[in-house]
Amino acid sequence: MRMAPLYSRSRPAAAQPPAEGAATAAGAALADADPAHADQAPAAPATTAPRPRWLPPALWAGAGALAVLLAALGLHAGLPGPRPITQDDIDAAVRHSLEKSPLPSAAAKAYAAIEPSVVRVIGLLDEHDSGDDRAEQRAMQRSLGSGVVIVDNGTILTALHVVAGAHAVRVIFFDGTSSEATVIGTQPENDLAVLKASKLPDDLQPATLRSTADLRPGDEVIAVGHPFGIGPSVSDGVVSGLGREFRDEDGEHRLTNLIQFDAAANPGNSGGPLVTMDGSVVGIVTAILNPTEQRTFIGIGFAVPIENAASAIGSSPF
């Protein structure tokens, strides 16, 4: 009698491995069915520990990453942590940076702000003066000074004594542009004059004016102008005092409520701006004090507060 095959030739669908009891029962059934093949019965597993359950690949990957992270944390825990940054570290870094790229001084930044607004003012003494170098040399003795642009239409503030008695006035802007200028206003009690230039540079920049209400002795200032025709030149110092009084050599003219400063100023600085460290004009240089016959600076200069310019230009500058 022909025996039916126990196994199919086709590959069965993925089957779960038989449990331990099922394997033993299959072996016994095979032995009963065919004693000759009893020695071919499946042997019992060597161990009885259950096989691990199947997990999706994504979970295996996540578990691996977690294991790596935990291992790294464990290694890191055994290493010393980073040293906290101290104030000394910050100071050293700042010093190193400043040594490599020094910052410009406060005076240099103030000068850069005011430079485009400063002009040279030349009072031409007679109709024969053409404004050439010889005229400037003659004006050096009496009518050479500085000024500052306060409105971008060419309005310039200067000292009255620079242009008083001049046949004509010429101004030279920061870029070399030369122009005739007209006196459009004066304020003799404060030694102020307002000029209007007829020809302007393309990029004329007016100065920023600042009230002296919060100005204090000891505040840093710079004086900018053309001392002895050299310029523009800048000198720095401090406000030495407020509310000062000055009389000219003849004693005929008295100026009051002046700013005293110690930034170097000489003939030619008159009419130029006195500037704070933020680049703002707080005064117009008007005089220097020297009890000797020499017309040089000995440490005492005076400037008219910029508030006095309000009536000279016809409106408040603030």
Residues tagged active-site: 161, 191, 270
Which sign does the torsion angle of CA 21, 26, 29, 35 carry? negative
User: In the structure encoding, which two tokens stand for residue 170, read together?
Assistant: 């010429």
Neighbours of 147 (CB within 10 A): 32
The owner of tokens 């239409």 is: 153
Contact 303, 194 (CB under 8 A): no
The owner of tokens 């069915």 is: 33
